[in-house]
Structure 1
Amino acid sequence: MRLLLVEDNVPLADELVQGLQRQGYAIDWLADGRDAAFQAACEPYDLIILDLGLPGRPGLDVLREWRDAGLRFPVLILTARASWAERIEGLRAGADDYLAKPFHPEELFLRVQGLLRRARGLDSRAPIEVAGLRLDESRQTVWRDNEEIGLTGAEFRLLRYFMLHSNQLLSKSRLGEHLYEGDGEPDSNVLEVHVNHLRRKLGRQVIETRRGQGYCFVGLSA
């Protein structure tokens, strides 16, 4: 899952980028509201973490512009402003959640996880389960019945995206756009290697190849 962090506090941004990467997310970071307004309209982000007090343009103005343009990715607002009036203003502008500074990074990670699940119609508290497989995001492993199957970081990121988009046709370019930072998209051979590793661990039937189109995660037979 690819996220955009828009935060001008450099120490805080560094901490959040590192923490979110450990959670298995691809993170782009910007510190200016003008840059954020442009980039989010051009790149396929799964979620945006947006500070309000930004140089260039205020975060609320940027958020309103995204929503007026029909951009519907989840937005989590970060701000030092904690009054009820300001929270209501942010939610009316189109925010999906709101976190006042200071906060514990673990709370932000859980809110991000919940927003990404709810955006796909899933229970934010329950594990991701698809046809016999249960993904443990905290340990970055997958369970089949009572068997725990270890994953590398790349395999976890790919499997999580597949399970959140099960039975959907996913092109290699889409997978690359959503699993890697803007300057880190791999060639298709790298994705093929990771797909083959998942098939060896989970069974070849879980991921179908649609020649010339991409992949479809179908899970296991009931």
Structure 2
Amino acid sequence: MKLNYSVYLVTDREMAGECNLADIVVAAVSGGVSCVQIREKNLPTRQFVEEARGLVEHLRPLGIPLIVNDRVDVALACDADGVHLGQNDMHIKDARSLLGGQKIIGISAESLADARRAELEGADYIGISPVFATATKTDIAKPLGLGGVRIIRDNVQLPLVGIGGISAANAADVIQHGADGVAVVSAIIAAESPEASARELLQQVTSAKRIV
């Protein structure tokens, strides 16, 4: 499956507050989100599977892939389109043997070395993080900056998705420095209008790609 990485939404239940997470995701897709990653660090496994399965049912008819953060077992159980793995999660080769060749495997990279290794080991795309400082995740490396994005772009061929502190104000810069898309959490999940926020991000990304 070939992904459109332009606007990549990562979910966060706490940021959603009282709002229904599925409703936020559907609204964001209406605004132009092209890929969704469900990230649940605290849900029991059974509930995680149910939530992910519900999103698959919403998204698959729309042609929008669902990626499961970290959990290969959950991805298998809900027939998600793939997984996104961190540096300490299951090795790519093990995930591939379980998921098969048709599922997507993304890898988080905090350095050029991480990115090169992910490409050699068979990842489908790389999430480079953090591009900018962010309060969404605290257990992350020093920001790469736009220069870091460019260095990774110049050294790997895989699609790159920038994440970390990205909003409509800086999304175009990330694309112009070599990313294929931008991943956001708070810029959409915590927005007053997820649909409008997604649309604005897509406009910025699309305009930047025309220049590149």
Please give the TM-score of this superposition, normalised by the length of structure 2.
Answer: 0.36
Greater strand share, 1 or 2?
A: 1
> Which structure has the higher relative contact order (CA within 8 Å, separation 6+)?
2
Please give the TM-score of this superposition, normalised by the length of structure 1.
Answer: 0.34
Larger Rg: 1
